[in-house]
Amino acid sequence: MSKEFTPVEKEIIRKLDIVNHELKENGVSTDIDSTEVKSQDAALRQYNDKTGQARKLCELTDRYVMVEWLKEYGYVDPISVAIRIWNNPEEFSKLEPEDGALILSKYLFLSGVDLHRFTARPGWPEIKNSTLNWYQKTMPWVVDQGLIHIQDGDSINPRFKYANIPTYAKYHFDDATEELEELSKLGVVGVLIPQPWNIHYKANNQMILTFSKAMEQGIPSLEMSNFDFRKMPKLIQAYFVLSDHILRSKGYCESYNNVIDTAPSVT
C-alpha cells in the first residue's frame, strides 16, 4: 500500500516543483573541484606523500596555502608543484563525490533540471579524459547530457567560468569566494559550498548565499528546522539554501520566528 502524503509534505513537493521550474527556465551550474568532487582530499594526500608531512584538511585555510607549504619545504617552483598536485589526472579516478553530490545530481536529472559543470582546471587532454571518465563511472547521465564544460587552455583560468557560466546559468554552486564575487557582478546568484578556506567568509552582497542563516534558523519556507538542516549532506544543504532564496523571491516569506528547533534538549 502506497503512503499518502500529508498536507505539509504535499506543500513542500509543490514548492520544490516551483524551484525546479525556475532552475529549468534560468539554468543552474556547479563548480567541480571541492564543490561536487572532493579534490581537496586527494590534493592533501598527495602533498603528505610527497613531503612526508601529516597536514590535515582543517589546515587548508586558504586556497593557495599549499604553495606556501611547498615553499617552506624547499621547492624552487612551489606554484607549479601545487598546480600539478591539484590537477593530477592520475588521481581523478580515485576521487569521491562531495557529500550529497550524487543524490542531488540524480534528483535534478530525474526532475528534468540540467546541472552544468564548469571548471577552471587546465584543459590538458589527460585532464579532460580523466574528468569525463570519472563522470561516466560515477554519474553517467552527466556525460550523456553533455553537461561538462572544460576549457582548452594550458593554465588555470577562472575567466573561462566568468565568460561561460552566465550563458548557461543564473544560479551557481562554488567553493571559491572570489569567483562567486565576480560572477555576482555578472548577475549570477552563487551558493558558497563550505570548505576550510571559506568558513569565515562574510558575503558582501545578496547575490552570494551562505549556509549561516539556515544553520542558525532553519529554512521555514520548506518547514525545515536548523536541526534538520544540519543533519543533511552538504550539497543537499546547498540545494535547500538556493531553494529558500528562490521561494522568497517569489513571495514565500514565512517568518523564521515560526520555525521551532526540534533538537532534543541536553540536560
**Which of 205, 235, 230, 237 is CA-nearest to residue 216?**
230
Portions of the chain given CATH number 3.40.50.1000:
7-38+97-258
Q: Does 265 have pLDDT greater than 70?
A: no
d(CA 28, CA 165): 9
Largest CA distance in the chain: 68
Query: What is the pLDDT confidence band of residue 259, given thresholds at 50, 70 and 90?
Result: very low
Note whether 120 and 35 are within 8 A (CB): no
Average pLDDT over residues 109-119: 97
Query: What is the pLDDT confidence band of residue 239, given thresholds at 50, 70 and 90?
Result: very high
Contacts of 160 (CB under 8 A, 6+ apart): 118, 120, 151, 153
7-38+97-258 topology per CATH = Rossmann fold (3.40.50)
Query: What is the pLDDT confidence band of residue 63, given thresholds at 50, 70 and 90?
Result: confident
Query: What is the pLDDT confidence band of residue 98, given thresholds at 50, 70 and 90?
Result: very high
Cα(first)–Cα(last) distance of the chain, in Å? 41
Q: Does 3 have pLDDT greater than 80?
A: no
Average pLDDT, the chain: 91
